[in-house]
Amino acid sequence: MDPPAIEAVRWLLEASLGEDVGEGDVTSAALVPADASARGAYVAKAPLVLAGIAVARELARLHDPRLEFRASAADGDRVRAGAVLARIEGNARAILAVERTSLNFLQRLSGIATLTGRFVEAVEGTGAVIVDTRKTIPGHRVLDKYAVVCGGGRNHRMGLFDAVLIKNSHLAFQGAPGRAVDRARRHSPALPLEVEVRDMAELESALGAGADVVMLDNFTPEAAAEAVRRSGGRAVLESSGGITIDNVRAYAEAGVDRIAVGGLTHSAPASDIHLQVFPA
């Protein structure tokens, strides 16, 4: 992550450290001499796509600026089991205090990047791109979406403010997608506009109104292929709903431009990463 992105989540890192350390690590205070030094290595225990190494470095700096953190791999790298991701040296109590919080971030973000990488590989050669959704942990959106990019995916809108996305709940107030597209376009003419459709009739309505992107909600791969044929390139088509690692290739081969996968951020298993700590 670049410095501006780290700055945007510093509050979260500080809160996370405070949540864990509280008034102090009572176990280390009892068992580890205050002036003891240690060294540690963050090790991947399974193959993964790395994400969050800059976050781990910043956590170490926030807790104790004297800690020395040296990355051995970069975010976005695909690493093997047993690979050393980073090394940390300094005060033993400080390393032990930051251990769990840094691992929590590294494991979650690398898990998202690794799962994203699996989906990206599954559609390789089709022209379809994998995009995320807003199904992120509250407060973690910047980091979750960063991890998707590390895995080779792309970001959908960041929030409710940077793109228009007309969903079924909005259509309940407007009726046909075409009418909703017209009104939304007048309200926010500078923003990209996407509309969710459930059948071919709604697809034609959205296309006729000039939507930039049409989301095919829970279409089968066969129906998505028909939508691609009917669209004829008039809009970007995005498949969403019920997408899994087992069927994502079928949607990509149907010819859609984008495939939205909420599971990238709401259901990614944490990567297996360990911090080995030794007295220096």
Query: In this structure, are 33 and 45 located in the same domain?
Result: yes
Query: In this structure, are 234 and 176 located in the same domain?
Result: yes
Query: In this structure, are 31 and 101 located in the same domain?
Result: yes
Query: In this structure, are 39 and 147 located in the same domain?
Result: no
Q: Tell me the residue ranges of DSSP E strands in 65-135.
A: 68-71, 78-79, 84-91, 129-131
> Residue 3's pLDDT is what?
75
Query: In this structure, are 113 and 174 located in the same domain?
Result: no
Task: Tell me whether residue 167 is one of the annotated catalytic residues.
Answer: yes
> Residue 236's pLDDT is what?
98
| CB of 276 closer than 8 Å to CB of 86 | no
> Residue 218's pLDDT is what?
97
Q: Which residues of the chain have pLDDT under 70?
A: none
132, 217, 238, 257: which one is catalytic? 217
If you compute the radius of gyration of the chain from its CA atoms, what whole number of angstroms results?
23
CA distance linking residue 104 with residue 122, whole number of Å = 27
Residue range(s) defining the domain that contains residue 126: 121-266
Query: What would the pLDDT profile of 29-73 be if each residue is shown by its tens digit?
Result: 999 999 999 999 999 999 999 999 999 999 999 999 999 999 999
Task: Tell me whether residue 135 is one of the annotated catalytic residues.
Answer: yes
58, 77, 132, 196: which one is catalytic? 196
Q: Is the sign of the CA dihedral 120, 126, 127, 129 positive or negative?
A: negative
> Residue 92's pLDDT is what?
98
Query: In this structure, are 155 and 109 located in the same domain?
Result: no
pTM confidence score = 0.96
Query: In this structure, are 139 and 213 located in the same domain?
Result: yes
> Residue 4's pLDDT is what?
76
> Residue 195's pLDDT is what?
97
Tally of domains within the chain:
2
CATH number assigned to the domain comprising residue 78: 3.90.1170.20
Instruction: List the structure tokens of 123.
Output: 């559609």
> Residue 69's pLDDT is what?
98
Return phi, psi of residue 85, to 5°. Answer: -90, -35
Query: In this structure, are 262 and 131 located in the same domain?
Result: yes
Query: In this structure, are 148 and 165 located in the same domain?
Result: yes
Task: Tell me whether residue 45 is one of the annotated catalytic residues.
Answer: no
Query: In this structure, are 126 and 249 located in the same domain?
Result: yes
> Residue 176's pLDDT is what?
84
Count of other CB atoms within 10 angstroms of residue 104: 17
CATH number assigned to the domain comprising residue 142: 3.20.20.70
100, 154, 183, 185: which one is catalytic? 100
Query: In this structure, are 57 and 160 located in the same domain?
Result: no
Parallel/antiparallel/unpaired status of strands 164-166 and 78-79 = unpaired
> Residue 85's pLDDT is what?
98
Query: In this structure, are 89 and 145 located in the same domain?
Result: no
| CB of 166 closer than 8 Å to CB of 194 | yes
61, 87, 134, 135: which one is catalytic? 135
Task: Using alpha carbons only, give the angle 80, 83, 86 rounded to the nearest 5 degrees.
Answer: 135
